[in-house]
Amino acid sequence: MSKAYFSAGCFWGVEYYFKRLKGVTKTTVGFMGGEIENPSYKQVKTGTTGHLETIEVEYDPEMVSYEALVRYFFEIHNFEQADGQGIDIGTQYLSAIWFNNTEERDTAIKVFGELTQMGYHPATQIRQAMPFYPAEDYHQNYLDERQETPECHIYTKIF
Q: In 3-state terms, what secondary structure has residue 11?
A: helix
Query: CA neighbours within 13 Å on the CB side: how many for 77?
Result: 35
Q: Which conformational region is residue 119 in: left (phi greater than 0), alpha (psi within -120 to 50 degrees), or beta?
A: left
* Contact by Cβ (8 Å): 95, 124: yes
| 10 catalytically annotated | yes
Q: In 3-state terms, what secondary structure has residue 10?
A: coil
CA angle 43, 45, 47 (to 5 degrees): 90
* Contact by Cβ (8 Å): 64, 21: yes
Catalytic residue (one of 4, 10, 70, 94): 10
DSSP secondary-structure letter at 70? H
Please give the positions annotated as active site. Answer: 10
